[in-house]
Amino acid sequence: MSDDFELDTDDLKRRMDGAMANLKTEFASLRTGRASASMLEPVMVDAYGSMTPINQVGTVNVPEPRMVTINVWDKSLVGKVEKAIRESGLGINPQLNGTIIMLPIPELNEERRRELGKVAGQYAEHARVSIRNVRRDGMDQIKKAKADGMSEDDQKFWETEVQELTDKMIKSVDDALETKQAEIMQV
């Protein structure tokens, strides 16, 4: 009856890739002592009654290696953008100059580097959990098909496929974490 069972491994891979993409976005928000417009991506501003990304309320520029500027388009949002940056946990103290907010990126000290390394580790663990949840969904589909009459050989084949995909994705997360932590600890 269930000989035609086909696990949608493409869907599982797509969902695992989504966890990996999310991890890369979170890693981009961790500053490593160098200015980057992407470090502001997770910061949301309460603009016009809804939470809005900073890049939708102003122009984000990196005029020099240790400076990010935001040219806020609407004067009434300058205070809200400044507040969002202060509360973001980036550890940056915004300086106002009219509608331009300047973010000088300070040198990272050893303690802050270790803190950022731990945060990167937490982000990686969240990605691993997401990947394992996708794995669990795949295994549940296989168990359901087994209950519907799938052969034990087919069950083992699909479980191996899902496990290999999971292991590959977890290794990608670990590699990305190692790279990011090396980048953070680089002076």
34-104 sits in which CATH class?
alpha beta
What is the pTM for the complete model shown? 0.67
Quick: pLDDT tens for 102-155.
988 877 788 878 888 888 899 999 999 999 999 999 999 999 988 888 888 989
Quick: pLDDT tens for 35-82.
777 778 878 898 888 888 888 899 999 888 788 899 999 888 889 999
CATH number of the domain at 9-27+109-185, out of 1.10.132.20, 1.10.150.20, 1.10.10.10, 3.40.190.10? Answer: 1.10.132.20
Can you give the pLDDT at residue 2? Answer: 43
Give ∠ CA 179-175-180 in degrees, rounded to 5.
25
Q: Where are the domains of the chain?
A: 9-27+109-185, 34-104
Can you give the pLDDT at residue 116? Answer: 84
Write the DSSP assignment of 32-95 as a string of letters.
Answer: -SS--GGGGTT-EEEETTEEEEGGGTEEEEEEETTEEEEEESSGGGHHHHHHHHHTTTS----E
Can you give the pLDDT at residue 40? Answer: 82
